Amino acid sequence: MKKISLLLIIAAIICTSCYQYVWVPIPGYGEQKPSETFEPDATTSNELNVLLSSFSTGTETEKTIKIANGNYVLSDLIDVGQGKSLTIIGESDDAIISFDDSYFTADKIFQANSQNHFALISAEEGATLHLENITIKGKELDAAAISTGTEIETILAVDADVYIDGVTVEGVNWPDYFGMQTGFGLRTMGTSRENTITVKNSTFSGFQKCGILIASTADSSTNNDKIAIDGNTIIGAGDIDTIAQNGIQISTAKLSNIISVTGNSLSNLNYTKEGSSATGIMLVSAGNNNEQSAFEAYATELEANNNFSNVPYPTSVYI
């Protein structure tokens, strides 16, 4: 046995000095797996228009649409009806959705929550809107075409769940941003339903009044929204004297509804006239006048946990 072992050792030494090792991968370990192939449902404007129109007017309650990189020009509102669920996922943010010039007319004004609205995307009561890796392009409005008494949003959700990740939202505004107190990149409105609002890793610019406006019901007994706004970039119009813009505004009766607002970068929010100010992040205590100190303490946390550039007033609180 000793002689055999010695011979094996000598043979092993000879082999290692005379030959190169050949690495044989163990199945399932250390192998490069092929990446998942992105298989789009739409590659042209016409295909996307047909899919969205069919979903809006049909009986289908849940739909996922993947779109390849490219420019998609739509002719009608992206409408997620009551109780429906729509997911749109782009190949990357080079999957760009814009709207035909003919869309920006008074004919496209609709009613929501007892108000007139003009929006590019609308989610109704009980709906779920999921947007990922796309660009939504708004434009400057013709003040003669859209009544100044109309609420303006790029994305509007009324009592709906919203999930936005990796989305670029170029908002809707009036010429020279003249002082109409509306025009929001994203606006959510809550009345009685518990809504989950998640916005992350996204960019908002070109808005008239506010990049992200989260407005919950003032009734604290039914106000149970779950709000998370993290890692976004909010870019205002800069040093202007026509409107005091806000980057993010959250109106809620309970701070416990806010899960997190961290890692956002807010810039170019500076109103140059005296008597008012633009704000990076504004907290509004909806219907709750008893927690001013708590709201102010949280505003201090927000200033520390988010980034501000050319924003003279990073945070503010309204009770």
Query: How much is the pLDDT for 250?
Result: 94
d(CA 236, CA 204): 8
Above 50 in pLDDT, residue 10?
A: no
Q: Which of 80-94, 133-147, 297-311 has the lowest mean pLDDT?
A: 133-147
Q: Which residue has the higher pLDDT, 3 or 162?
A: 162
For residue range 211-227, list pLDDT tens digits in order: 999 988 656 666 678 99
Going by pLDDT thresholds of 50, 70 and 90, the confidence category of residue 33 is very low
Query: How much is the pLDDT for 141?
Result: 80
Query: How much is the pLDDT for 24?
Result: 39
Q: Which residue has the higher pLDDT, 290 or 177?
A: 290
For residue range 299-310, list pLDDT tens digits in order: 999 999 999 999
In the chain, where are the structural domains located? 44-318
For residue range 244-274, list pLDDT tens digits in order: 999 999 998 888 889 999 999 999 999 999 8
Above 50 in pLDDT, residue 240?
A: yes
Q: Which of 36-45, 112-121, 283-292 has the lowest mean pLDDT?
A: 283-292
Tell me the mean pLDDT in the region 155-176. 91
Going by pLDDT thresholds of 50, 70 and 90, the confidence category of residue 144 is low
Q: What is the pTM of this model?
A: 0.86
3-state secondary structure the chain: CHHHHHHHHHHHHHHHHHCCCCCCCCCCCCCCCCCCCCCCCECCHHHHHHHHHHHHHCCCCEEEEEECCEEEEECCCEEECCCCEEEEEECCCCEEEEECHHHCCHHHCEEECCEEEECCEEECCCCEEEEECCEEECCECCCCCCCCCCEEEEEEEECCEEEEECCEEECCECHHHCCCCCCEEEEEECCCCCCEEEEECCEEECCCCEEEEEECCCCCCCCCCEEEEECCEEEEEEEECCCCCEEEEEEECCHHHEEEEECCEEEEEEECCCCCCCEEEEEEECCCCCCHHHHHHHHHHHHHHCEEECCCCCEEEEC
Query: How much is the pLDDT for 178?
Result: 63
Q: Which of 20-24, 42-46, 106-110, 246-250 has the lowest mean pLDDT?
A: 20-24
Q: Which of 279, 302, 303, 283 is nearest to 292 (CA)?
A: 283
Q: What is the mean pLDDT of the chain?
A: 85
Above 90 in pLDDT, residue 136?
A: yes
Q: Which of 213, 201, 290 is nearest to 247 (CA)?
A: 213
Q: Which residue has the higher pLDDT, 233 or 192?
A: 233
d(CA 131, CA 169): 11
Q: Which residue has the tokens 């202007």?
A: 240
d(CA 61, CA 308): 41
Q: Which of 95-104, 184-193, 202-211, 229-238 has the lowest mean pLDDT?
A: 184-193
